């Protein structure tokens, strides 16, 4: 994981980790680099939080943060990401290009056929 974070020391968040949302404190000490709209992502309404899929859309609005390896490990715990079995956790993660450089983004692993798309990309 250390090599990954050195390659990409940023995270793009689209849900409860955004400013003003209840999980934003997980990003304490991170530096907000700015916002972006990622057209390679589609957001789905999962009820208490959104999930993103790597699907083309009008764009998902994200906040991009500079982070460190410890912060990434904490976010992995929050998001239910398993480095040893990425497809088996609640979320997987992948690197996406943003206006602020490449950033990790958490992708929802489960099916979304019964969930509503968030068409405007803003949760």
Active-site residue, selected from the candidate residues 79, 111, 119, 122? 79
Catalogue the long-range contacts made by 98-101 (C-beta closer than 8 Å, 24 or more residues apart): 98/10, 98/12, 98/36, 98/38, 98/62, 98/64, 99/34, 99/36, 99/64, 100/10, 100/33, 100/34, 100/36, 100/64, 101/8, 101/10, 101/33, 101/64
| 79 is known as an active-site residue | yes
Q: Which residues are catalytic?
A: 79
């Amino acid at each position: 994981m250390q090599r990954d974070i050195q390659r990409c020391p940023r995270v793009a968040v689209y849900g409860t980790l955004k400013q003003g949302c209840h999980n934003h404190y997980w990003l304490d000490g991170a530096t907000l680099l700015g916002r972006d709209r990622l057209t390679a992502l589609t957001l789905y309404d999962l009820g208490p939080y959104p999930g993103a899929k790597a699907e083309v859309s009008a764009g998902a609005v994200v906040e991009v943060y500079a982070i460190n390896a410890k912060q990434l490990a904490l976010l992995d715990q929050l998001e239910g990401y398993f480095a040893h079995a990425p497809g088996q956790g609640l979320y997987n993660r992948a690197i996406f290009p943003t206006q602020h450089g490449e950033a990790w983004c958490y992708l929802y692993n489960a099916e979304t056929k019964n969930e509503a798309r968030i068409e405007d990309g803003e949760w």
